[in-house]
Amino acid sequence: MKYIIAPSILTVQKSDIVASIKEIENCGARWIHFDVMDGKFVPATTFDIDEIRSLLSQTKVFKDVHLMINNPRSMVKAYIDAGANNVTFHFEACKDYIEVSAIIDMIHQYGAKAGLSIKPGSDINAILPFLSKLDLVLVMSVEPGKGGQKFIDKSLKKINLLYKYKTKNKLNNLLIEVDGGINDKTLQSCVKKGANVLVVGSYLFNHPDFADRFKKIND
């Protein structure tokens, strides 16, 4: 399967987001990545549920929603009702393994795909027991909460470990997503280690020609 580029609107000014979503669509992107931050799990804040509902209604492209929030269990249904096609929550935001499993089940119950994310400093082995239940696993290759950071090289080992586990256990439909510091060079490094969804923000939007940059990494 050819990898998926999921443009992230995290670094886009709010007044420009709707226009940027249309630009993403016009380039032929299949996914758009939306980061939700509550100012508690991470220091920054982005969109509340009403803002996300409005933004998700602007596009028919696959909507990949990443919840960087405390108590994700309380908000999963709201984001799916708002239009999320995939909801990814953080392992670190859960009190125990039972809660992680319950949230995955809840996401599926409400008709969306389920993703689980892990911070750079967390042990990747901790989430392996959940991979057979997931549609997607998200490796954060920067500290979550801020766009424009440098890619953390040790993330490549995590990606490869996940890929080997996926292959060994025949989890053919599991997507391995990477978010943080993705550009034309780090993207290729991630793909070689087994990633097949790449979240790209600053590399695309901090450039005068979005379409040219998107084409460069999508060919």
pLDDT value, residue 147 = 65
Catalytic annotation on 179?
A: yes
- The amino acid sitting at 20 is S
Catalytic annotation on 16?
A: no
Structure tokens at 43: 């220091």
Looking up tokens 């509902």 gives: 53
Where do the structural domains in the chain lie, given as residue ranges?
Answer: 4-218
Q: Which of 16, 35, 81, 209 is catalytic?
A: 35
Q: Which of 38, 64, 135, 179 is catalytic?
A: 179
pLDDT value, residue 38 = 93
Work out the end-to-end distance of the chain between its first and last CA atoms, rounded to an integer number of angstroms. 13
Q: What is the tens place of the pLDDT at every residue in 112-139? A: 999 999 999 999 999 999 999 999 999 9
Instruction: For domain 4-218, give the CATH superfamily.
Output: Aldolase class I (3.20.20.70)
C-alpha span between 95 and 134 (Å, rounded)? 19
Is this model's pTM higher than 0.85 or not? yes
